[in-house]
């Protein structure tokens, strides 16, 4: 029998706590919940538009709006509580790709919520949209400032491969462009749209280069659908400025790209379900929206119905993982 070496002392471990320490309420709210929620909220807007165009009752759309707005308020409250406990978690989330997508989806969902309340509170709708836009731009400024600092210091950063999640940053402000035009701020709307579309075009070019070089890890491939967002929103923006021909061309390009991605669905979904799948909902709904605004109602409905069913399944799976911290563990969400 071997003896312990002379002077050996076992490590001291702290006594176990009893009762166990409880995590603070909403301290690990995962921002990724907003990726799927923003998509489902956008479905309601397009469905309401299609029902109005077909002169059908909008009771189901209004009921859905009430349910989704209540859920959105709860999720926003949980996220604000988490950030309020320790504001530095924003910097932590911006370093993680999935959480970063969730943060920018949260600001986009605020713009969508502003559009949803327009039929009942038309006075409050623009203010909510503009507040969400300001939060989106402030968050983007923080992200790009930190990214530039990391690039200058030659530290590893998340741009090692073309990140389609950046399209959430570029395309998000385009949601507010029609509101800026309606408020009479046409010049600001034009400048904002031009900057966002230029950056989104560069992001799409980087994505195409990444496809050629095979720099797309299987778990992140569903995010490639985010390249549809700026194309579809560009169609809506062109229509807002009265450029119907350009809007039709951009809408057809977005629809064609969606058809190509549908043919590659087995390649896109090869890694199986991950919370990243929530990012694929909103861009497809935007394509349906561009079709509806262009008058192609049947095409819009044909896109909207399957993506709505898909969105319900993804939302159920994501929100089911939220309790007990399972979703936070999967997405490396830092506790506040």
Mean pLDDT value across residues 300-324: 93
**111 falls within a domain:** yes
What is the pLDDT confidence band of residue 160, given thresholds at 50, 70 and 90? very low
| Mean pLDDT across 148-173 | 75
With 50 as the cut, is the pLDDT of residue 22 above it? yes
Range of the domain at 215: 33-76+84-147+162-330
Tokens 């949209």, residue located: 129
Q: Is the residue at 18 inside a domain?
A: no
CATH number of the domain residue 311 falls in: 1.50.10.150
Is position 106 within any domain? yes
Would you say residue 117 has pLDDT above 80? yes
pLDDT of residue 219: 86
- Please give the distance of CA 130 from its chain centroid, rounded to a whole number: 17
Cβ-Cβ contacts under 8 Å for 117 (sequence gap 6 or more): 69, 124, 125, 128
- State residue 158's pLDDT score: 45
In the predicted structure, residue 72 carries a pLDDT above the cut 50: yes
For residues 72, 104, 173, 179, the Cα torsion angle rounded to the nearest 10 degrees is 10
Neighbours of 333 (CB within 10 A): 24
Q: Which residue has the higher pLDDT, 330 or 157?
A: 330
Most confident of 2-6, 50-54, 101-105: 101-105
The number of distinct structural domains making up the chain is 1
Unique residue bearing structure tokens 């949980």: 78
Asked whether 38 and 112 are in contact (CB, 8 A), the reply is: yes
Residues 65-85: what's their mean pLDDT?
95
Residues 144 and 195 sit within 8 Å (Cβ to Cβ): no
Cα–Cα distances in angstroms (integers) from residue 7 to residues 3, 10, 46, 56, 115, in the given order: 11, 10, 74, 85, 72
**Does residue 159 surpass a pLDDT of 50?**
no
Distance CA 28, CA 160 (A): 27
16 lies in some domain: no
Structural domain includes residue 154: no
**For the whole model, what pTM was predicted?**
0.90
Residue 54 lies in a domain: yes
Q: At residue 17, does pLDDT exceed 70?
A: no
In this structure, are residues 115 and 125 in contact, taking their beta carbons and an 8 Å threshold? yes
Task: Read off the pLDDT of residues 229-276 as tens digits, 9 standing for 90 and up.
Answer: 999 999 999 999 989 999 999 999 999 999 999 999 999 988 888 899
90 versus 157: the higher-pLDDT residue is 90
Q: Is the pLDDT higher at 155 or at 330?
A: 330
């Amino acid at each position: 029998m071997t003896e312990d070496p002379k002077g050996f002392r076992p490590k001291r471990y702290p006594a176990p706590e009893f009762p166990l320490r409880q995590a603070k309420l909403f301290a690990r709210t995962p921002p990724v919940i907003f990726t799927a929620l923003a998509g489902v909220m956008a479905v309601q807007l397009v469905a309401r538009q299609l029902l109005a165009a077909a002169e059908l009752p909008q009771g189901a759309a209004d009921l859905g709006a009430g349910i989704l707005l209540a859920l959105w308020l709860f999720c926003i409250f949980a996220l604000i509580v988490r950030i309020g406990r320790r504001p530095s978690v924003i910097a932590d989330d911006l370093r993680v790709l999935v959480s970063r997508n969730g943060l920018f989806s949260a600001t986009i969902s605020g713009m969508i919520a502003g559009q949803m309340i327009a039929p009942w509170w038309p006075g409050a709708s623009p203010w909510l949209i503009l507040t969400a836009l300001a939060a989106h731009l402030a968050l983007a400024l923080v992200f790009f400032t930190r990214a530039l600092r990391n690039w200058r210091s030659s530290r590893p950063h998340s741009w090692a491969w073309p990140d389609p999640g950046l399209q959430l940053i570029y395309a998000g402000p385009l949601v507010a462009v029609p509101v800026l035009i309606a408020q009479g701020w046409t010049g600001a709307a034009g400048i904002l749209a031009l900057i966002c579309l230029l950056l989104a075009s560069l992001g799409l070019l980087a994505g195409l280069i990444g496809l050629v070089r095979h720099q797309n890890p299987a778990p992140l491939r569903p995010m490639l659908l985010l390249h549809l967002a700026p194309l579809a929103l560009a169609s809506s923006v062109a229509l807002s400025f009265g450029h119907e021909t350009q809007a039709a061309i951009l809408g057809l390009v977005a629809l064609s790209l969606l058809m190509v991605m549908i043919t590659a669905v087995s390649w896109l979904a090869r890694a199986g379900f991950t919370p990243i799948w929530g990012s694929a909902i909103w861009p497809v709904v935007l394509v349906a929206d561009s079709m509806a605004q262009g008058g192609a109602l049947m095409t819009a409905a044909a896109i909207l119905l399957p993506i709505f069913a898909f969105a319900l399944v993804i939302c159920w799976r994501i929100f089911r993982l939220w309790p007990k911290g399972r979703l936070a563990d999967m997405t490396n969400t830092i506790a506040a």
